[in-house]
Chain A
């Protein structure tokens, strides 16, 4: 069975500080992992993905994520947070050969000026 956990409903960080949004997953095969961001009254926007290869993935707007197979984690990071990064972030996983993309419950990031 596939599942995704985002253990923090809310993350607050000061502008300019590094940010981390956590995600752990469970799949039976090899995972495809994704991060999406949702701004108010908007749909989800793709940030980055891990399919295979280098464990450190770089994406849009300076975000990156590290795939850690032993810890089954795919945490989202950014070295220096911007106020405009404040939004709802979703982690998602798809098991190899499955049509379904399973999403976490989301983490609301607030960057404080």
Chain B
């Protein structure tokens, strides 16, 4: 175990649903990340939070809404998704600031299927 947990592990949702992904880290880190992993494509960085402030938003559609209430928890709120949003969503954490040479610790991911 890496010290980063994600729930749920699997999620199937319709395009009109609203759901949330949860990430929790027990490593004392101050930076947290959301990534999207699709088959045959590089991992796509979606959001970066450092000390609970969003420091990076990589042109992610507004149907994805992150929330970082404290340094241990990160959420990804989902609404009106499209089938192409189906992917593995990975959460990661690292010491802060994120622009240094710290490695990231990843959770097991949430496999999202949009029907």
Q: Which residues from chain A sit less than 8 Å from chain B, CB to CB?
A: 4, 32, 34, 36, 41-46, 49, 51-52, 90, 92, 94, 96-106
Cα–Cα, bound, A102→B108 (Å): 19
* B75 within 8 Å of A (CB atoms): no
Residues of A within 8 A of B103 (CB): 34, 46, 49
Cβ B40 vs Cβ A105 within 8 A: yes
Residues of A within 8 A of B106 (CB): 36, 43-45
A100 in complex: contacting residue of B2, B6, B58, B105, CB < 8 Å:
B58
Cα–Cα, bound, A34→B50 (Å): 20
Rounded to whole Å, the gap between the CB of B110 and the closest CB of chain A is: 10
Cα–Cα, bound, A96→B99 (Å): 7
Cβ B99 vs Cβ A103 within 8 A: no
* B48 within 8 Å of A (CB atoms): yes
Cβ A41 vs Cβ B40 within 8 A: no
Interface core residue of B42, B45, B58, B107 (most chain A CB under 10 Å): B42
In the assembled complex, 13 residue pairs joining A and B whose CB atoms fall closer than 8 Å, in A order, are A36-B106, A43-B6, A43-B109, A44-B43, A44-B92, A46-B104, A51-B101, A90-B43, A92-B43, A94-B99, A102-B45, A104-B42, A105-B41
Cβ A100 vs Cβ B56 within 8 A: yes
**Apart from A94-B99, A100-B58: 16 A-B pairs, beta carbons within 8 A:** A4-B42, A34-B103, A41-B108, A42-B108, A43-B2, A43-B106, A43-B109, A45-B2, A90-B43, A92-B43, A99-B55, A99-B56, A100-B45, A101-B104, A102-B45, A104-B42
Cβ B105 vs Cβ A103 within 8 A: no
Rounded to whole Å, the gap between the CB of A88 and the closest CB of chain B is: 10
Cβ A44 vs Cβ B90 within 8 A: yes
Rounded to whole Å, the gap between the CB of A24 and the closest CB of chain B is: 14
Residues of B within 8 A of A99 (CB): 48, 50, 55-56, 98-99
Cα–Cα, bound, A52→B101 (Å): 9
Cβ A43 vs Cβ B107 within 8 A: yes
